[in-house]
Structures are given as C-alpha cells and as structure tokens.
Amino acid sequence: DIVMTQGALPNPVPSGESASITCRSSKSLVYKDGKTYLNWFLQRPGQSPQLLTYWTSTRASGVSERFSGSGSGTYFTLKISRVRAEDAGVYYCQQVREYPFTFGSGTKLEIK
C-alpha cells in the first residue's frame, strides 16, 4: 500500500497568516496519463471531510482561492493564505493513484 505521511503545523496559526501543510507519498502518484492523483480534504469538527483540491492543484467547485495545492511525484504541499477561523480543522491528503486508496494521518490547524 502507498503510505502517505503528513507534516505538522506550528499551532496555533494567527489569523491572517499563511499556513503550509506537507504530504509525502511512499511511491510516485503520477499515473500513465501524466496526471498526479493527489487530493486534499478538510474535516471541520463534527463534519464530514470536504474536498479542497484534486490532481494536486485543481481547486474543487466553490473552494476559496486562498487554498492552493502544489507538488509533484512524491512531495506535495497545501498552502492556505490569510487563514480564517473557518479554516480550522484537520487536513488530509489522499492518493487515488492505485488501490487501496490511502489517506495521510491528518494535520490539525488551529487558529489564534
């Protein structure tokens, strides 16, 4: 199975500052079609996860431009610009390059 390893954040992050979350995969997530199958989700307390980005950097419908995904191969980053209280929660990266789909262990973001 592909192992997804996420970095931690120096919580709490002051409102208005930026935060970057890292995610490493144990295998390249580039598929034969050239796309990189890495997704990011946010799970707010008591809620279901919400898709933020897919194909590494494509924002999902309705997601703020403050969220930007980047990376390639096995190293990825989700940057959140000008963090707000509503951004608090746990962020997960997920690979859908191959079965079984696997998630990172999550990175908690707290806002000050």
Partner 1 sequence: QVQLQQSGAELVKPGSSVKISCKASGYTFTSYDMHWIKQQPGNGLEWIGWIYPGNGNTKYNQKFNGKATLTADKSSSTAYMQLSSLTSEDSAVYFCARWGSSGWYFDFWGPGTMVTVSS
Helix (H) or strand (E) holding 6: strand 4-6
- Measured from the CB of residue 17, what is the shortest distance to partner 1 in angstroms? 26
- Measured from the CB of residue 85, what is the shortest distance to partner 1 in angstroms? 22
Residue whose token pair is 């509503």: 86
- Measured from the CB of residue 100, what is the shortest distance to partner 1 in angstroms? 4
Distant-in-sequence, close-in-space partners of 101: CB < 8 Å, separation ≥ 6 = 94, 95
Binding stretches for partner 1 (CB under 8 A): 37, 39, 41, 48-51, 54-55, 58, 60, 92, 94, 96, 99-106
Q: Taking CA 56 as the corner, what is the angle to CA 94 and CA 78, rounded to the nearest 5 degrees?
A: 80
Residue 14 or 99 with smaller CB distance to partner 1: 99
Residue 53 or 74 with smaller CB distance to partner 1: 53
Question: What does the longest C-alpha to C-alpha distance in the chain come to?
Answer: 43
